[in-house]
């Protein structure tokens, strides 16, 4: 049976891992290559690396980091942050990334999604979308600071029609709070869209992951600080999910 | 002489396959040279991409004949498995026919999303690739097309229906999943392949 996935997310700034609380007050959380290896060892199903200070100069650093990660990692991983072009994606995939996640650039120029799907296949195109309930769920850009006026579900389904193979949905209202995932909207996304949904934002306890899969119908759940700071250990999380009857890879 | 060759052709990024072999202490040669391929002790044929363009490339380059003439252990991975089959529904493509098996497309419905992406179980495993694996081991899949079950099936995986997760006929082995991305289980499967006599 297809397993629900647990995905630690590593935010990368200047080659180091950081995780902000609601994207503010970034804290240091370690070396990405050794963190990646240790997560794979513990049973993470996949990893996401987000270059949160992505600039043209940083891109070369990221490609070289991706090469190092790919040499040690025996599970799939996604790279994102500031990606704007087919050429950049080509470099990242060539360096060993399995998928890329795109966000603002895809929102500003949706053809990017179709171009990537055409060039590399939908399976490696993850659309990352940050949103907030205002009270209708609205897409935000720039790390959740810039409202767009675009409805979340309408943007996500356009992205899928254009070839996005997966949606990484972060609730900015939940991110960093440790009060649980945005369940209702995650379920709506999962039931409306024919591609896997990764729920992100709000993980604080094991029960939050359970609800993300049961009530939220998510295909995967992503978290950062609870893993980086050892508040939740992946082996015991997966054991708890398994005991609860959720299919996971032990 | 113990030489592992990974066949070079324009079908996706194979860096991760080379890395996985490297982690097992095997420095594989990545080449499309027929003599290098024929003289290898074992051959790996990976692939991510679309069937018809990959087949057209193999035919034009003559690599199709090279692959079919091999007598040493050969391992097809992902698209590699599909190209070893008789025919793929992906752009109505005639493939190599090493396995007399059709490749069809999964039909999405409310319960099952396509592509089939993520970790799923291996069942009814037998043969040298799967020696020493615990039952219902999880491996990593990303695909929209699948080989139906046949007499050559040596592992199945349940999805919209149970399909061939692995096939074997004589010296030809093939897996639909990505052993190079399947954690320790995948490493064990690659190790098993590298140790087939």
Nearest CA in chain A to B182: A75
Residue A165 and residue B16: Cβ atoms within 8 Å? no
pLDDT in tens, B154-189: 999 999 999 999 999 999 999 999 999 999 999 999
Question: Looking at CA atoms only, how far is residue B170 from chain A in angstroms?
Answer: 29
Please report the domains of chain A, with CATH numbers, ordered by start residue. 5-243 (3.20.20.70)
Task: Give the separation between CA B196 and CA B38, rounded to whole angstroms.
Answer: 17
pLDDT of residue A229: 79
Q: What is the mean pLDDT of residues A143-160?
A: 95
A123 touches chain B (CB under 8 A): yes
A74 touches chain B (CB under 8 A): yes
Low-confidence ranges of chain B (pLDDT < 70): 1, 12-13
pLDDT in tens, A173-211: 999 899 999 999 999 999 999 999 999 999 999 999 999
Contact of B102 with B89, CB cutoff 8 Å? yes
Question: Looking at CA atoms only, how far is residue A183 from chain B in angstroms?
Answer: 18
pLDDT of residue A120: 86
Task: Break chain A down into helix, strand, coil percent, rounded to 5.
Answer: 40, 30, 35
Let me know if A219 is a catalytic residue. Answer: no
pLDDT in tens, A54-100: 666 677 778 989 999 999 999 999 999 889 999 999 999 989 999 99
B186 touches chain A (CB under 8 A): yes
Per the model's pLDDT, the better-predicted residue between B11 and A9 turns out to be A9
Task: Please identify every residue of B annotated as catalytic.
Answer: 78, 178, 180
Reply yes or no on whether the pLDDT at A20 is more than 50.
Answer: no
Q: Which of B118, B120, B186 is opposite residue A74, by nearest beta carbon? A: B186
Range of the domain at B88: 4-194
pLDDT of residue A243: 98
Residue of B10, B11, B12, B13 to mutate when probing chain A, most A C-beta within 10 A: B13
Instruction: Output the domain CATH number for residue B68.
Output: 3.40.50.880
Per the model's pLDDT, the better-predicted residue between B40 and A52 turns out to be B40
Q: Which of A93, A95, A194 is opposite residue B113, by nearest beta carbon? A: A194
Contact of A3 with B140, CB cutoff 8 Å? no
Indicate the pTM of the whole model: 0.92
A7 touches chain B (CB under 8 A): no
Which tokens is A1 given?
């049976």
Number of domains forming the structure of chain B: 1
Task: Give the separation between CA A138 and CA A76, rounded to whole angstroms.
Answer: 30
Task: Give the separation between CA A6 and CA B168, rounded to whole angstroms.
Answer: 32
Which tokens is A97 given?
């990334």
pLDDT in tens, A204-236: 999 999 999 999 999 999 998 898 878 899 999
């Amino acid at each position: 049976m297809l397993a629900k996935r647990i995905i630690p997310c590593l935010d990368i700034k200047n080659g180091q891992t950081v995780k902000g609380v609601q994207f503010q007050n970034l804290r240091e959380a370690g070396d990405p290559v050794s963190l990646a290896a240790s997560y794979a060892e513990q049973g993470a199903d996949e990893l996401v690396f987000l270059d949160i200070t992505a600039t043209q100069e940083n891109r070369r650093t990221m490609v070289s980091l991706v090469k190092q990660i790919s040499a040690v990692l025996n599970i799939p991983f996604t790279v994102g942050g500031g990606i704007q072009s087919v050429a950049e994606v080509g470099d990242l995939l060539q360096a060993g990334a399995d998928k890329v996640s795109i966000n603002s650039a895809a929102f500003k120029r949706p053809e990017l999604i179709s171009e990537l799907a055409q060039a590399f296949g939908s399976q490696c195109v993850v659309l990352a979308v940050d949103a907030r309930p205002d009270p209708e769920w609205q897409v935000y850009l720039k790390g959740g600071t810039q409202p767009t006026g675009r409805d979340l579900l309408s943007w996500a389904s356009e992205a899928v029609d254009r070839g996005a193979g997966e949606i990484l949905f972060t609730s900015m209202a939940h991110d960093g709070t440790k009060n649980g995932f945005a369940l209702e909207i995650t379920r709506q996304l999962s039931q409306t869209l024919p591609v896997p949904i990764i729920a992100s934002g709000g993980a604080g306890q094991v029960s939050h992951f359970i609800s993300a899969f049961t009530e939220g119908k998510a295909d995967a759940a992503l978290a950062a600080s609870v893993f980086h700071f050892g508040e939740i250990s992946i082996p015991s999380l997966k054991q708890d999910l398994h005991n609860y009857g959720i299919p996971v890879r032990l | 002489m113990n030489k592992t060759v990974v066949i070079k052709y324009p079908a996706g990024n194979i860096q991760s396959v080379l890395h996985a072999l490297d982690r097992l202490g095997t420095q594989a040669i990545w080449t499309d040279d027929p003599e290098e391929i024929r003289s290898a002790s074992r051959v790996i044929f990976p692939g991510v991409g679309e069937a018809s363009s990959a087949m057209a490339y193999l035919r034009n380059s003559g690599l199709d004949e090279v692959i079919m003439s091999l007598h040493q252990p050969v391992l097809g991975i992902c698209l590699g498995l599909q190209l070893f089959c008789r025919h793929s529904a992906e752009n109505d493509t005639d493939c190599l026919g090493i396995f007399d098996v059709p490749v069809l497309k999964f039909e999405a419905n409310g319960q099952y999303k396509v592509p089939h992406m993520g970790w799923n179980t291996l069942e009814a495993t037998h043969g040298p690739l799967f020696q020493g694996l615990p039952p219902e081991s999880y491996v990593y899949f990303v695909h929209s097309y699948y080989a139906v079950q046949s007499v050559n099936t040596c592992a199945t995986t349940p999805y919209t229906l149970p399909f061939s997760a692995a096939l074997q006929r004589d010296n030809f082995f093939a897996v639909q999943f990505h052993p190079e991305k399947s954690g320790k289980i995948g490493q064990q499967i690659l190790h098993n392949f590298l140790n087939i006599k």
